[in-house]
Amino acid sequence: MQCIRKETSRSKSEELVHQAQSLRVASLNSKLLGMEDDPDLQFLLSGAGLVKVRSSSWKKTRFFKLQEDCKTMWHESKKTLRSKQTFSVEDIDSVRSGRQTEGLKKYTEEALDPRVFSILFKGRRKNLDLIANSEGEAKHWVSGLEKVIFNLSNLSQQSKTEHWIYNCLRKADINCDNKMSPQELINFLHDINIEVDDEYVQMLIEKCDQSKCGSLEGEEIQHFYEILTQREEIDVIYGAYAKTEGMLSAANLLDFLQKEQKEQVDLSYAAQLIEKYEVDETAKAKQQMTKDGFLMYLHQPEGLIMNPAHKRVYQDMQQPLNHYFISSSHNTYLMEDQLKGPSSTEAYIRALMKSCRCVELDIWDGSDGEPVIYHGYTLTSKILFKDAIKAIKEYAFKTSEYPVILSLENHCSVEQQKLMAHHMTSILGSALVTKPLGDHMPTELPSPEDLKRRFLIKGKRLNKLEASLSDQASAEEEESVTEEEDCRDDEEESEKNLSGKSKTLKLAKELSDIVIYCKSVKFQGFEHAQTHQAFYEMCSFKEGDAFKFAEKSAFEYIHHNVDKLSRIYPSAFRTDSSNYDPVPLWNAGCQIVALNFQTPGPEMDLNQGLFGQNGLCGYVLKPSYLRDKASEFDPITLTRGPWLKHKELHVMVISAQQLPKVSQKMASVVDPLVRVEIHGVPADETEKETRHIQNNGFNPMWNENFQFDLYVPELALVRFVVEDYDAVSNNDFIGQCTVPFTSLQNGYRHVPLFNENGDLLSSAGLFVHTMVVNAE
């Protein structure tokens, strides 16, 4: 969250005063970040010229400098309407040294490698590819930015709020006199997303203005800050349990944890929380918790909406692959839409860094003999297949060690198929599964644990897997290579129908041989699959067919998915790369429900919510009734069974904190409302909404209660959505958080909010009370 006030012109004397204050402010902020006297930070604050690289002919020097808030990067621009540009360090996804991006590899020489680096942003913002003046300066930039990003993200919630408000106050003090006039206070409140009338501002000034001069300075501003950040709802809760000298003893805190949070913990656990989060050393020595320490605890993992134990890998990871939901991407190579959007290896990196475990590669013959990836029959740009494999190899296991499936949509000639096989075997090396695990023919798929840091290929195979273990089959295989193979699966047929061209291809033996556990076969009905389809053979379903089966034949679909993998992909007619609702397909036990990771929206929020548990490893164990061959579960009819566990979820939406603006206009202030949605089996799907609060995105309060009845809780996701109310058009999205029902914590909980791209909003959050009870 940034203050967005524009700077005003100053006289020379005012500019000198401003510069002196800037130095003091930068010093205070560097101290808050724990980077006082850090040479890398001092370099960033001084700034330096960097060559910005956009193409082989567009390489121009621009001055970059970290501003005094130690969070905003400024750089000059030669655009006539935009002489200055800024971006927040919090918008940076990563900083990479060397020629690691496509742009730097393409437009710079290898000799520049020590001097170049890239700033990669969250969302769809383009990378900044930069050349420093020297290798030493490049190291300062990379190291400094990485430290600032890390330290900012690790500030406590209280420190984040203090840092943000302090710098907004600083920007609001336009004439740099260290005083806040009534108009400057109004401007400041607008900046932090509150709109108030003159009378309210006057009341605040009178409350804080001890000197009676009509403006605030020094300790008066500090008093104003304390009034502004007071959490009345926290005061009430804290006051009800702080029974020891006005503070929480370990016994008082234990009373709160057991009665309100419904946690089965002991006195030593309460004492550990005090030791861990109390900010006052005197109180800590007495094993007591102040209100500030209590608020600190409520913002930590123990106090958040999601069970912190579920943030680690807590599920059994030794069951067959088909027993898991697998985070899966469609058209992974695309950064935007599938008609004319750019293809990029960066898209693979982003998906893998979000723990996606199944990525798609659409491969076509390249004009220079090298296979390329792009969306066929469209204007999407092309990338080399081997470059994509290199990127996948490097980033596959940075966030999860569990296996990655490469889903091949093969449109290549036999010669370039051989090259594909060569690139995968040479680049991926021993990490590529090229034969069944063990010495004998398996009878079921291996587990994620068995396949840690391994790659699986999903594609066509010329023969049965059993033949690969038989010496007798080798001669027959050689002959079969020359036969016409129908390499079409349902997805390729959809493309054929759009293009009007046949997709029948020959299949190279070299490529066929590395398809082991994910052999693509055409779906010919559930009965045929039951009798003819091997455990290692899998079908791809276009979304229309999959939804039809999930609704009309859910029982059969579930049984099909008990021992076989199914991959679902969006309709070819979704030219904008929009997504379908994945929930009905998860309800039917489908494992590889592929979504367009490049397209934000509610569907990706649900995907992020489901896979936000189990250590963000990209695999979530399906409930037992979606793994049992004798299961009678049907999400549509909901007959009685172990899946039917009627629960009541009580949610009180209490308040929100520091919601971001949805418009960058200074006078724009949000009117927030909160919607609580339940996603799961049809009987559980519902939503309820609070009233909107006018002109307050900083600390709105609702105190509204909702009750939800859930019948299949293991499949339910709870989504908290915050929107800016609009009476004449659609509400604007502010933030959301989706949590599996089984991961919810009871009691008073903060709910972190994520933006539309799935990135955490650093200061924003909801405060709620939740309670799950067994229904009568």
Binding-site residues for Ca(2+), in ranges, read 331, 360, 362, 409, 671, 695, 724-726
Strand partners, 722: 674, 735
Token pair of 101 as six digits: 């991006």
Q: Is 330 a catalytic residue?
A: yes
Please give the Cα distance from 599 to 334 (Å, whole number).
Answer: 10
Chain-centroid distance of CA 163 in Å reads 24
363 exposure class (CB count in 10 Å sphere: 0-12, 13-18, 19+): buried
Q: What DSSP state is assigned to residue 559?
A: H
Distance CA 656, CA 72 (A): 25
Catalytic residue among 375, 411, 423, 679: 375
- Dihedral angle computed from the Cα positions of residues 348, 353, 356 and 358, in that order, rounded to the nearest 10 degrees: 40
**Helix segments in 471-582, DSSP class H:** 473-480, 490-499, 509-512, 526-532, 543-552, 554-563
At a CB cut-off of 8 Å and minimum separation 6, what does 509 contact? 462, 477, 478, 481
Other beta carbons within 10 angstroms of residue 510's beta carbon come to 17
Torsion, Cα 194 1 301 287, to 10 degrees, reads -70
Which amino acid is it at 193? N
- Which of the residues 140, 190, 330, 679 is marked catalytic? 330
**Among 355, 325, 321, residue whose Cα is nearest residue 518:** 321
Three-state DSSP class for 35? coil
CB contact at 8 A, 609 and 582: no
Contact 585, 622 (CB under 8 A): no
392: number of Cβ within 10 Å: 23
If you count them, how many residues does the chain have? 776
The C-alpha atoms of residue 715 and residue 680 are separated, in whole angstroms, by 5
Three state DSSP letters for 377-437: CCCCCCEEHHHHHHHHHHHCCCCCCCCEEEEEEECCCHHHHHHHHHHHHHHHHHHECCCCC
Q: Which two tokens stand for residue 644?
A: 């039917």
Alpha-helix residue ranges (DSSP H) falling in 131-231 = 135-153, 157-172, 182-191, 198-208, 219-228
**Cβ–Cβ < 8 Å for 114, 108:** no
Give the residue ranges of DSSP H helices in 354-384.
none
- Which of 405, 412, 314 lies closest to 360, judged by CA? 405
Region of 369 on the Ramachandran plot (φ > 0 left; ψ -120 to 50 alpha; else beta) = left
548 in the Ramachandran plot: left (φ > 0), alpha (ψ -120 to 50) or beta? Answer: alpha
Q: Is residue 375 annotated as part of the catalytic site, yes or no?
A: yes
- CB contact at 8 A, 716 and 692: no
Q: Which residues are annotated as a binding site?
A: 52-79, 331, 360, 362, 409, 458, 460, 540, 567, 671, 695, 724-726
DSSP category for residue 334 = B
The number of beta carbons lying within 10 Å of the beta carbon of residue 82 is 9
Q: What is the distance between the alpha carbons of residues 569 and 687, in angstroms, rounded to a whole number?
A: 27
Interatomic CA distance for residues 350 and 122, integer angstroms: 9
Across-strand partners of 542?
A: 569
404 contact partners, CB below 8 Å, separation of at least 6: 352, 357, 358, 359, 392, 396, 397, 454, 455, 456
Structure token pair of residue 762 = 């650093």
Active site residues: 330, 375
